[in-house]
Chains A and B, each alone.
Chain A
């Protein structure tokens, strides 16, 4: 079943940026902050990531540049929403627009250049095992990193005290504050982590997926990542499933076309979004009296003294 293996490989690659960005946003939202600026942070990450790799010839430096760019932008967001108690929705949108504009300016000098794409893992013998060899042992670093990231986040959120405190900030910041936890500082770190992930996810696109930079190359993936977080009910495990599901729909839609199945492509493209709405409704119904979102998500918090 070579075709199945090939499809799985494509899906893995397509899903990876979604997974990385969504993981970061999941942590942010779990701490109670809704950052709609993921698309802006991703695209700035793409521009800076490509620039870094092109200037130095190293994928790793490119990735670090992407992470740095995303984090920096997220700090602006944090300063506004946490430092100045500004409305999170408006700030996130402003961040998106700012990010798109900035990436265009930064990336303008890089259009037309190409870099060597990120190397894929290759272990002699093991990678060549038919069917599973390339899937498990032949991916580029980002794919493994994305899975490691999700596992790390899961461990952090559910197996460490710090993670518990972070979740508390998201569920009830007033109580968390009363217990003496520095809610704003925790949220700031969560936002920065989200920014770092978004930047890394954005950098993945020019570093590994299509090794050149084009303005607007994120093509709305940031918004899909936001949908993913909700789709996954804010749980890392489900995030992986969701990301691969979204990636699969994208890839399978293309394969269906190639195979001559006559499903209108727009319908297939709309499926992930429709699915998200349905899932949102379902998970909100499951718990009486509200959704399973972090209860304090998106609300402004100014600690009183």
Chain B
């Protein structure tokens, strides 16, 4: 019996191996590591859409594989390595927590190229990429201040990391250009994705007087609650208008497709090199969903602001920036904060009456 099994296994293996080698010669294999399920309607969903765009763009020249629900612990290193061993030559790891594992695998396989999202460590064969989501937040802040009757915004944060903190700050800075006394209430969900908690947080914020909800979490739960209560909200990562047709003002959409297409093309042309990409509205890495449910003058203001940022005429973190203590923050980028300062931002600007957890 055992001999039959081994023979069968051998047959299967050679068959499988020949299948692999035949295709490896022709196609570029591109792999993706996803944090959540592709159906999360948020962060992972957007990466998946970009992957599908790749398939559409390059057709037969590439073969893509993805692993979803890969937790950021020790298993992720194995998942990345398994993609490498399956023949993938360009691998996208789509969450901060994969940084160390990606680095380790990258050191092991110098001929494979890695793209790590939202991280800060690179190598000869490992790039990083992320989006200037804070540009979109600034615009949202302006819209929110205009549309809010109570002057109180509600913010559902995931974790107090710089990306989220800079988003909150950008929102307030934008809002303060319309209403210098704008207030914001912040609740931390301690998760990127927890619909139940996000719904509860949205309810709590609304109950406490906020009438515009913004989120840095991934599910449409908050939009749903806002919609139920006739309030307004901003979507996150992807279009959430289907959950709040009368509630969504706009959404910051992660548009990874152009970047992915760029990188695959470079790989196919043999011109791939390690880079650090931090694109915003200008490079279309960040796209705003259509402006809805607002009067025309607000829409125009939003569009004008978006154009100004895109053209490089307006910087959300234009100096002087005042910290919570009222003192000016050192301005290392000329007339606006340097990228490094935004990437490592761990302070609130003046106007936010709260403390960053863990400080």
Interchain CB contact under 8 A, A112 and B204: no
With A114-B242, A258-B187 as contacts: A210 and B204 at CB distance below 8 Å: no
With A257-B187, A265-B188 as contacts: A114 and B243 at CB distance below 8 Å: yes
Any chain A CB within 8 A of the CB of B304? no
Any chain A CB within 8 A of the CB of B280? no
Any chain A CB within 8 A of the CB of B270? no
Any chain A CB within 8 A of the CB of B186? yes
Any chain A CB within 8 A of the CB of B325? no
Any chain A CB within 8 A of the CB of B175? no
> Complex: how many Å from CA A205 to CA B200?
12
- Which of B207, B219, B354, B355 has the most CB atoms of chain A within a 10 A radius of its CB? B207
> Complex: how many Å from CA A27 to CA B190?
34
Interchain CB contact under 8 A, A211 and B200: no
Interface size for A (C-beta < 8 A) is 33
**Which B-chain residue is minimally distant from A257 (CB atoms)?**
B187
With A112-B41, A117-B228, A210-B221 as contacts: A259 and B185 at CB distance below 8 Å: yes
Any chain A CB within 8 A of the CB of B303? no
> Complex: how many Å from CA A210 to CA B206?
16
Within 8 A of A (CB), among B71-85: none
Interchain CB contact under 8 A, A210 and B190: no
With A6-B203, A210-B221 as contacts: A258 and B208 at CB distance below 8 Å: yes
Within 8 A of B (CB), among A1-30: 2-3, 6-7, 10, 14
Tell me which residues across on chain A come within 8 A of B199, comparing CB atoms.
Answer: 209-210
Any chain A CB within 8 A of the CB of B37? yes
> Complex: how many Å from CA A117 to CA B154?
23
Any chain B CB within 8 A of the CB of A185? no
With A214-B219, A254-B204 as contacts: A219 and B196 at CB distance below 8 Å: yes
Any chain A CB within 8 A of the CB of B205? yes
With A3-B208, A255-B207, A257-B187 as contacts: A111 and B194 at CB distance below 8 Å: no
Interchain CB contact under 8 A, A260 and B39: no
Any chain A CB within 8 A of the CB of B357? yes
Any chain B CB within 8 A of the CB of A108? yes
Interchain CB contact under 8 A, A254 and B224: no
Interchain CB contact under 8 A, A214 and B203: no
Interchain CB contact under 8 A, A250 and B186: no
**Chain B proximity of A194: nearest CB distance (Å):** 22
**Which B-chain residue is minimally distant from A259 (CB atoms)?**
B208
With A210-B221, A214-B37, A214-B40 as contacts: A255 and B204 at CB distance below 8 Å: yes
Interchain CB contact under 8 A, A111 and B185: no
> Complex: how many Å from CA A159 to CA B199?
39
Helix, strand, loop or mixed for chain A's interface? Answer: helix
Any chain A CB within 8 A of the CB of B264? no
Q: Which listed residue (A3, A112, A250) contacts B200, Cβ 8 A?
A: A250
Interchain CB contact under 8 A, A108 and B39: yes
Interchain CB contact under 8 A, B37 and A111: yes
Q: Which listed residue (A209, A257, A266) contacts B186, Cβ 8 A?
A: A257
Within 8 A of B (CB), among A263-293: 264-266, 269
Any chain B CB within 8 A of the CB of A262? yes
Any chain B CB within 8 A of the CB of A151? no
Tell me which residues across on chain B come within 8 A of A138, comparing CB atoms.
Answer: none
Any chain A CB within 8 A of the CB of B201? yes
Interchain CB contact under 8 A, A257 and B188: yes
Any chain B CB within 8 A of the CB of A217? yes
> Complex: how many Å from CA A171 to CA B52?
59
With A257-B186, A258-B204, A259-B208 as contacts: A112 and B224 at CB distance below 8 Å: no
**Which B-chain residue is minimally distant from A252 (CB atoms)?**
B204
**Which A-chain residue is minimally distant from B193 (CB atoms)?**
A214
Tell me which residues across on chain B come within 8 A of A269, comparing CB atoms.
Answer: 190
Any chain A CB within 8 A of the CB of B328? no
Any chain A CB within 8 A of the CB of B353? yes
Interchain CB contact under 8 A, B37 and A266: no
Q: Which listed residue (A6, A112, A215, A265) contacts B207, Cβ 8 A?
A: A6
Tell me which residues across on chain A come within 8 A of B197, comparing CB atoms.
Answer: 219, 254
Seen from chain B, the residues whose Cβ lies within 8 Å of a Cβ on chain A are 37-41, 45, 69, 154, 185-188, 190, 193-197, 199-201, 203-208, 210, 219-221, 224, 228, 242-243, 353-355, 357-358
Q: List 9 A-B contacts (CB under 8 A).
A: A10-B200, A14-B200, A210-B219, A211-B224, A212-B243, A257-B188, A257-B204, A264-B358, A266-B190
Task: With A3-B207, A111-B37, A211-B224 given, name 20 new contacts (CB 8 A).
Answer: A6-B206, A10-B204, A14-B196, A14-B200, A117-B228, A210-B195, A210-B196, A210-B221, A214-B219, A251-B200, A251-B203, A254-B201, A255-B204, A257-B186, A257-B187, A257-B188, A258-B205, A258-B208, A259-B185, A259-B208
Seen from chain A, the residues whose Cβ lies within 8 Å of a Cβ on chain B are 2-3, 6-7, 10, 14, 108, 111-112, 114, 117, 205, 209-212, 214-215, 217, 219, 250-251, 254-255, 257-260, 262, 264-266, 269
Q: Top 7 A-B pairs ranked by shortest CB distance?
A: A111-B39, A6-B207, A254-B204, A258-B185, A210-B195, A257-B187, A210-B221
